[in-house]
Structure formats: C-alpha cells, structure tokens
Amino acid sequence: MVPKHEGEVGSRMKFRGKEMIVWSLNNYIGLANHPEVRKTDGESATRWGLGTPMGARMMSGQTNQHELLEQQLAEFEKKEDAYLLNFGYQGMVSIIETLVSRHDVIVYDAESHACIIDGLRLHFGKRFVFAHNDMESLEKQLQRAAKLVEKTGGGILVITEGVFGMSGDLGKLDEIVALKEKYNFRILCDDAHGFGTMGTTGAGVSEHLGVMDGIDLYFGTFAKAMAGIGGFVAGPEPIINYLRYNMRSQIFAKSLPMPMVEGSLKRLELLRTKPELREKLWTIVNALQNGLRERGFDIGNTNSPVTPIFMKGSVPEATNVILDLRENYNIFCSIVVYPVVPKDVILFRLIPTAMHTLEDVEITLNAFSEVKEKLAAGKYAGDRVRMA
Ligand SMILES: Cc1ncc(COP(=O)(O)O)c(C=O)c1O
C-alpha cells in the first residue's frame, strides 16, 4: 500500500489521521512552504495559468524566463551554459542517450540511480561498471575503456553521483577528476541530493570537494532542495547547445510551465541569498547524525544530509518496526529491505530538513533507541506482520 500524507509539507504531517514527525521528504532547506515561494508560485499561476508556454522549447515553448533561469543556473554552477529539463529522471535518461554514440564507452558507478541505469539501456555501445566509489576498480574500467576507444575512435563518459541517495556517501569526485591526468574522459555527475545542500554556497558536492571545473556536466533536479519539479544540466556551451537541439525528451515534449520557471527563479534566489536555510538544515543534520552515532547506531559513511540507519533483521521484522514507529511513536520514515540491501539488513532512511526542530530530533532518537532494543530482544520476530 502506498502511504498517503495529509496537510502542508512540513516536519509534521498527518498520516492515517494522526500527526507524525515525517523524515521522508526531500524538502531539504524548507522551500516547499516558504512564504515567498508560495507567493511567487501563486502569483505566477494566476498571471500565466499552467498552460503557458504552449509547445516544446524549440517550437513555441521558449520564453525570456526560461532563458533567464538557465543563465542563472549556469552562473551559479560556474558553467558556460545550462539547459532546463522537465523532469530529472527523464532528463538524465535522455542526456545519456543523446551524449553517446555506439563508438563511445560509458564507465559508471555500480550504485547509480535508476535514471542513470535506464539511460545506459539506451546506449548502443559498451558500458563498464566500477565497484561503488572504488577508485582501483574505476581505473581498471578506464583502462579497458581506453583500449576500446582507441579502436572505435569514440570517447569515454564517466557517470557518477554527488550524493548517493540511499547511503548518503559522496561520490569521490575529487579523485575521479584527478584521474583525468592519466585518462581522457568526461564526467557527468548526478547531484540530485547535493544541489542546494552541499558546498559553501549550496552549489553541490563538486563545490564541496573543490572540483567544480573538473566536472564536465553537472546535473541537478528541482525536486529536492528546490522543492519543485524539473531539473537542469550545466556545462560547456557547445555540449549544452548540442543537448538543446538533440535531446528527444525535450524536443518532443512541452516545455516547463511558467509558474514552475518563475517559481524556480524565486527558489534559486532564496537558495543563493539565504544561507541561513542551509545552516538550519545542517544544525538538524548534525544533531540527528551525532545523536545516532553517540547512541551506537550504524549510520554508514554518510557525509551528507541523507541519514541511513542500518540494523540487522528480516523483512517481516522490518515491517513490524516501521509499524511500531508509526503507530506508537508517531514517526514516519522510509525503509529499504532485501533485495535492495542484503537479506538480513534493514535500512531506515531519514531525510533531515530545515523544517525539523531539535525537539523532533530528540523524540526520534529516543524512539529509535527503544525500537533497536526491542529488535535485539526479538520482540518483532515471526513471519507475520503484527503490531508491537
Ligand atoms: C540521484 C537522483 N537522480 C535523479 C532523480 C530524479 O529526479 P526527479 O525527481 O527530478 O525526476 C532522483 C530522484 O529521486 C535522484 O535521487
């Protein structure tokens, strides 16, 4: 059954009629309900409706606002140009399909998001996977790829992520960029979770790791820190222009509605001019992650707001824990179980936001301490799902 939340986006929402502390929304810096965002969204919808502009960008869907947003995104990411995408997922699939030919080789991280994996499926040439964040493995695959492109005359595209969305660890962008000294390749980085949350100005993991220049193509979505919909890709002007005139998902689809574009301009302005939103996010991230570590929880290698909690248990146990958290502690978070993680592992995934309070954190830490003890004592055991 798909969970349904009620009420405005916030740290507390209703689930099945009861108020819960919600840890599963990517509203990282709290823009979903920011009064200025709500005002701009509303005014823009009143002025233009949701239909404007009609048509694809290349036909009749171009506006000054679309171009302005692209300019501002490019400037923020310190790139020559940027191109808007109607959806992050579909955009990434289409970017990959457009960028490579059968002569090119893609080398990608094994834990890449579904949008990267699905983009690879449209690639007619070779693709080599490297073990997650394993630079030795990457180098091996680069050597294989280099040999191959010597014959085909193609190029190598390395694809990885800024923040890995399940485990919260960062792609080793600095080490990957350093390999450009030895191998000839370009990098496409999906920074869906890093855009707006990481780096001194919020420009993402490439900024955080000091390698903005080394990332050839930077991909971000508006669906997370920007609390909207759509996305963008930024990079050198000739490549972005090539995408602009060749990306099937954009050429053959209607352009982003005006309220989303004007709303994104407002969101970007707030993201750039209100660092206090990101500081508040990190206060909550640090309180949650330090609290969990102090209480002996395994939160893996996260270096980002994404907060995984790993516990040992079966799939029915995981379901019983999550039910207990919802029914008796009023805490809503996502879980990931087998086959995404090994059979006996339960991954609870918490997304802290600037909307959460330190009180929300304290309540949650206490709840997790209690359910951890119950899990270890076998209180959730059995094949059947039941309430604790
Ligand atoms: C790493 C990553 N890439 C891409 C996407 C897709 O973005 P969108 O929701 O804008 O389609 C997501 C969203 O789940 C994501 O986590």
In tens, the pLDDT along 93-145 reads: 999 999 999 999 999 999 999 999 999 999 999 999 999 999 999 999 999 99
| Contacts of 86 by beta carbon, 8 Å cutoff, 6+ apart | 230, 249, 250, 253, 254, 255, 256
- pTM to 2 decimal places: 0.96
Summarised one tens digit per residue, pLDDT across range 247-278 is 999 999 999 999 999 999 999 999 999 999 99
CATH code for 5-28+275-376?
A: 3.90.1150.10
* CB atoms inside a 10 Å sphere around CB 87: 19
The atom number, within ligand 1, closest to the CA of 222 reads: 10
Q: In what order do the strands lie in the sheet with 307-312?
A: 307-312, 345-350, 334-336
- Cβ of 232 below 6 Å from ligand 1: no
The DSSP line for 109-171 is ETT--HHHHHHHTT--S-EEEE-TT-HHHHHHHHHHHHHHHHHH---EEEEEESB-TTT-PBP
Report the pLDDT value the prediction gives residue 196, as an integer from 0 to 100.
Answer: 98
Q: How confident is the model at residue 387 (pLDDT cuts 50, 70, 90)?
A: low
The domain 36-273: what is its CATH number? Answer: 3.40.640.10
pLDDT surpassing 60 at residue 80: yes
The lowest-confidence range among 195-209, 272-286, 370-384 is: 370-384
String of DSSP letters for 344-365: TEEEEEE---TT--HHHHHHHH
Domain with CATH 3.90.1150.10 in the chain: 5-28+275-376
For the chain, report the end-to-end CA distance as a whole number of angstroms.
20
Query: Could you report the per-residue pLDDT of 304-357, keeping only the tens digit for each?
Result: 999 999 999 999 999 999 999 999 999 999 999 988 888 899 999 999 999 999
User: Other C-beta atoms within 10 Å of 376: how many?
Assistant: 12
Distance 221 CA to ligand 1 centre (A): 6
Nearest CA to 217 among 161, 171, 267, 264?
A: 161
What is the dihedral sign for C-alpha 269, 274, 279, 284?
Answer: negative
Q: Is the confidence at residue 382, as pLDDT, over 80?
A: no
Q: Taking residues 160-165, what's their average pLDDT?
A: 97
Q: What is the pLDDT of residue 386?
A: 57
- With the most atoms of ligand 1 within 8 angstroms of its CB, the residue from 86, 89, 336 to mutate is 89
Q: How far is the CA of 88 from the centre of ligand 1 (A)?
A: 5
Minimal-distance CA residue to ligand 1 atom 12: 192
d(CA 154, CA 379): 58
pLDDT band at 388 (very low <50, low <70, confident <90, very high): very low
pLDDT of residue 45: 98
CA distance 180 to 330: 49
Q: For the chain, give the percent of residues with pLDDT over 90.
A: 93
Query: Where does residue 164 rank: exposed (0-12), middle (13-18), buried (19+ CB within 10 A)?
Result: buried
Q: Where in the chain is the domain with CATH 3.40.640.10?
A: 36-273
Mean pLDDT of the chain: 96
Both tokens assigned to 211? 């390698």
Looking at the DSSP bridge assignments, the partners of residue 350 are 307
Whether pLDDT at 385 is above 60:
no
Given this model, what pLDDT does residue 328 score?
94
150 C-alpha to center of ligand 1: Å? 34
- Residue 189 structure tokens: 């980085």
Query: Vertex 166, ends 160 and 168: CA angle to 5°?
Result: 75
At position 56, the amino acid (one-letter code) is A
